[in-house]
Amino acid sequence: MKALPDKNRILWLLLAVGVLSAVAIYRIGFHIPVPAFNEEALKSLEQSRSQEAEPEPASEPPPAADSRAELPAEHPYRSEHPLYFRVAFGVEGTDSMLGMIDESGGTGKGYDVAYVDENMNGDLTDDAAKKFSRIEQGSRAGQLDRRFEFTGPFKTGQTAKYTLDIYGLPYWSHQDIQRLGSSFIWFLDVNQWNYFFINGKMTLFPTAADALKNAPVRLGGPCKWDISTRTRDGKPMISAALKYENGCTLRIVRCAGQTISPTLTLIQDGKVKARENMKFG
């Protein structure tokens, strides 16, 4: 009586071993992952399936290029004393944009980077940084140049390249810059024409609000001739300067690489007594 149950147990045991062996051979032979040991693989499979299941609508436009790519990952302002300015453009001067100068190395390390609201959306954080270029000329090698370039409005529907060169900016403290103001020169490049203005004077403000409520720096604008005479070494000299409101004076104008000279005509009693090209300088 005892032999029969033992025999049945052995048969059941053999059957169980056989089933387990068959399952193991099936798993190993067909490389099917066992869920408990391949959760990561399954998760990644689910993710890839969910991405495939939710494609972007075909009607949406492709994403615009990210203009913040050149900005640091964290908040772009590194100085405790960023300095702000506002520039207006063109003869009408109706368009203006905010700019900000920062110290990329931290407070007291020198102003070496600028942000200008080139897209004119009132947000400086989505504009690319304008790193001041480094000078590599003899003993001045490694020093920072103080100029930076940006695109701004020129005339209706047109833009131009502007280059603003602010004296002493990389080397002065923020107190000095605000106390003394800052002299600047600037360049305008449009089509084949290049303009260079000197003797500008601008104020840099401690806040954007201050820059916005004060008069902007004008880049471009209506100019007036200032004509004067003097005597040097017994010879009469006539000079003429093309100036506009913030003191900027035209230093040179070129077209396709050729300097364009002003023409001076001297008239007396209705007759032309002299006519000649003037020289810049």
Residue 265 lies near another protein (rule: CB under 8 A): yes
Q: What is the DSSP string of 232-263?
A: ETTEEEEEEEEE-TTS-EEEEEEETTEEPPPE
Residue 25 lies near another protein (rule: CB under 8 A): no
- Please pick, from the candidates 238, 245, 247, 259, the single residue that binds another protein as defined by CB under 8 A: 238
Integer Cα distance of 263 and 276 in angstroms: 6
What residues from 89 to 128 belong to the interface with another protein (CB under 8 A)?
Answer: 91
- Please pick, from the candidates 235, 257, 279, 281, the single residue that binds another protein as defined by CB under 8 A: 235
**Residue 231 class from Cβ within 10 Å (0-12 exposed, 13-18 middle, 19+ buried)?**
exposed
- Please pick, from the candidates 139, 175, 229, 258, the single residue that binds another protein as defined by CB under 8 A: 229
Q: Pairing between strand 217-219 and 271-277?
A: unpaired
Q: To the nearest whole angstrom, how small is the minimum distance from the Cβ of residue 95 to another protein?
A: 15
- Please pick, from the candidates 155, 159, 171, 181, the single residue that binds another protein as defined by CB under 8 A: 155
Instruction: Give SS3 for 185.
Output: strand
Phi, psi torsion values for 71, nearest 5 degrees: -80, 155
Integer Cα distance of 8 and 53 in angstroms: 53
Task: Tell me the site size for another protein, rule CB under 8 A.
Answer: 37
Q: To the nearest whole angstrom, how small is the minimum distance from the Cβ of residue 112 to another protein?
A: 30
> Between the CA atoms of 24, 26, 31 and 34, what dihedral angle is there, to the nearest 10 degrees?
-50
Residue 278 lies near another protein (rule: CB under 8 A): yes
Residue 216 lies near another protein (rule: CB under 8 A): no
Yes or no: say if 152 and 134 are a contact pair by the CB < 8 Å rule.
no
Residue 252 lies near another protein (rule: CB under 8 A): no
Q: To the nearest whole angstrom, how small is the minimum distance from the Cβ of residue 267 to another protein?
A: 4
Q: To the nearest whole angstrom, how small is the minimum distance from the Cβ of residue 263 to another protein?
A: 5
Residue 24 lies near another protein (rule: CB under 8 A): no
- Please pick, from the candidates 236, 257, 258, 279, the single residue that binds another protein as defined by CB under 8 A: 236
Residue 259 lies near another protein (rule: CB under 8 A): no
**Residue 80 class from Cβ within 10 Å (0-12 exposed, 13-18 middle, 19+ buried)?**
exposed
Query: How many residues does the structure list for the chain?
Result: 281
Task: Report the candidate in 124, 118, 121 with the shortest Cα–Cα distance to residue 153.
Answer: 118
What residues from 162 to 201 belong to the interface with another protein (CB under 8 A)?
Answer: 188, 190-191, 193, 195
Tokens coding 192: 């084949």
Task: Report the candidate in 111, 84, 121 with the shortest Cα–Cα distance to residue 100.
Answer: 84
- Please pick, from the candidates 63, 142, 157, 234, the single residue that binds another protein as defined by CB under 8 A: 234
Q: To the nearest whole angstrom, how small is the minimum distance from the Cβ of residue 253 to another protein?
A: 6
Residue 232 lies near another protein (rule: CB under 8 A): no
Residue 220 lies near another protein (rule: CB under 8 A): yes
Sites of contact with another protein (CB under 8 A): 91, 154-155, 188, 190-191, 193, 195, 220, 222-225, 227-229, 231, 234-236, 238, 240, 242, 253, 255, 260-268, 273-274, 278
